[in-house]
Amino acid sequence: MPVGQVIRSHSNIYYVLVEGREVECRPRGKFRLDQTQVRAGDQVEVRLEPDGEGRIEKVLPRRNCLERPPVANVDQCLVVFTLAEPEADYLFLDRVLVHVEQAGVDVLILLNKIDLVEPEAVDAFVRTYRNLVGYPVLPISAQQGLGLDELRPHLVGRISVLAGHSGVGKSRLIRALEPGREDVRVGEVSAKSRKGRHTTRHVELIPLSSGGLVADAPGFTYLEFQDIDKWTLRDYFPEFVRRQADCRYGDCLHRKEPDCAVRDAVEAGEIPETRYKNYLLLLEEVEAMKRW
Mean of pLDDT values over 181-187: 52
The pLDDT value given to residue 224: 59
* Residue 25 annotated as part of some ligand binding site: no
For the ranges 25-34, 38-47, 65-74, 193-202, the one whose mean pLDDT is highest: 38-47
195 is in an annotated binding site: no
Question: How confident is the model at residue 193, as a pLDDT?
Answer: 38
Say yes or no: 73 and 210 in one domain. Answer: yes
pLDDT in tens, 219-275: 444 455 667 899 999 999 999 999 999 999 999 999 999 999 999 999 999 999 999
Residue 114 among known ligand-binding residues: yes
Please check whether residues 13 and 77 belong to one and the same domain: no
Where would I find the beta strands (DSSP E) of 154-270?
159-163, 204-207, 213-216
Residue 261 inside a domain? The answer is yes
Q: Give the domain-ending residue among 59, 83, 98.
A: 59
| Interval 111-163: pLDDT, tens | 999 999 999 999 999 999 999 999 999 999 999 999 999 999 999 999 999 98
Mean pLDDT of 30-47: 86
Q: Based on the domain organization, do 82 and 185 belong to the same domain?
A: yes
**Does any domain span residue 222?**
no
Q: Confirm whether 221 is domain-assigned.
A: no
Output the pLDDT for position 271: 97
* Number of compact structural domains in the chain: 3
Percentage of the chain exceeding pLDDT 70:
87
Q: Is 115 annotated as a binding residue?
A: yes
pLDDT of residue 12: 85
Q: Of the spans 11-20, 212-221, 229-238, which averages the highest pLDDT?
A: 229-238
Which of 192, 216, 240 is the last residue in one of the domains? 216
Looking at the structure, tell me whether residues 192 and 246 fall in a common domain.
no
Please report whether residue 8 resides in a domain. Answer: yes
Q: Is residue 252 annotated as involved in ligand binding?
A: yes
Q: Which residues pair with 115 in a beta bridge?
A: none
211 in a structural domain: yes
Rg (CA), the chain: 21
> Which strand (E) or helix (H) includes residue 23?
strand 21-27
Q: Work out the angle at residue 179's Cα, subtended by the Cα atoms of residues 178 and 185, and round it to the nearest 5 degrees.
A: 90
Does position 186 have pLDDT exceeding 80, yes or no? no
* Same domain (yes/no): 85, 171: yes
184 and 86, same domain (yes or no): yes
Going by DSSP bridges, is the β-strand pair 204-207/213-216 parallel, antiparallel, or unpaired?
antiparallel
Would residue 224 count as lying in a domain?
Answer: no
Whether residue 156 lies inside any domain: the answer is: yes
Residue 62 is predicted with a pLDDT of: 92
Residue 65 known to bind ligand:
no
* pLDDT for position 184: 52
Q: What is the pLDDT of residue 223?
A: 56
Select from 20, 36, 59 the last residue of a domain: 59
Q: Which domain holds residue 20?
A: 3-59
Q: Which are the contacts of 129, defined by CB distance < 8 A and separation ≥ 6? A: 109, 135, 137
Per residue in 77-109, pLDDT (tens digit) is: 999 999 999 999 999 999 999 988 988 899 999
Indicate whether 17 and 114 sit together in one domain. no
| CATH code of 161's domain | 3.40.50.300
Q: How far is CA 107 from CA 16, 83, 138, 287, in A?
A: 26, 19, 11, 26
Residue 247 lies in a domain: yes
pLDDT number for residue 200: 41
Q: Are residues 153 and 101 in the same domain?
A: yes
Same domain, 107 and 180: yes
Residues 54 and 125 occupy one common structural domain: no
CATH number assigned to the domain comprising residue 262: 1.10.40.50
Query: For the chain, what percentages of helix, strand and coil (3-state, to nearest 5) are there?
Result: 30, 25, 45
Q: What is the CATH number of the domain that holds 7?
A: 2.40.50.140
147 shares its domain with 204: yes
| 113 and 186 share one domain | yes
